[in-house]
Amino acid sequence: MDRTPAAATADDFLDQALLEEAAKKSGLLWVRADGEAQARPLWHAWYDGAVVVVGDGGEQPLHGLAPGSGAVVTVRSKDKGGRLTGWAAAVSELAPNSDAWLGAVEELKGKRLNAPDTDTIADRWARECRVLRLAPVGALGERPGAMPDGSHAAEPMPTPATTRRPIPAGLPRLLFKRR
């Protein structure tokens, strides 16, 4: 099917609007760095036409994300939790205390929940963490009406956490005994 330049521009505009709105409203996105087998959840903010994340040094781990590399970003719907859109991204690191870094950090500070050092968080991030910018590259790989087939289910990542053991058989009698 041939597209006129006007139609392609309209589709590109709608894709950009979907990408931006989805990223702004979702509190969590899934990022798979080039060379990594699994995507990882990251909290983020939208700033200056790209997703920005802060990590390492006591914040969320940014495994495999390095300046100059690529990544695949998937955004879920905030209300339903399902896959909404996905795109390829170019990864770059923002230099601490640069104008772009300060703007990104202002956005990220509002998204950081339960920070132990709210007043000095920017100083700690400048010392210990990396702030990365994930800029969209090319057309959307996934969007409503153009989703891949299959479940995309993956094995859980290894973790030292364990599940609860079965409850003792007598516990329900203790909890629900009649008075």
* Residue partners of 92: CB distance under 8 A and separation at least 6: 67, 68, 132, 133, 135
pLDDT in tens, 89-146: 999 999 999 999 999 999 998 888 888 887 888 999 999 999 999 999 977 766 666 6
Helix, strand, coil percentages, rounded to 5, for the chain: 30, 30, 45
For the chain, percent of residues with pLDDT exceeding 70: 86
CATH 2.30.110.10 is right for the domain spanning 5-145: yes
Whether pTM > 0.85 for this model: the answer is no
Please compute, for residue 96, the number of CA atoms within 13 A of its CA located in the half-sphere on the CB side: 11
Q: Is 121 helix (H, G, I), strand (E, B) or coil?
A: helix
Confidence at 9, pLDDT banded by 50, 70, 90:
low
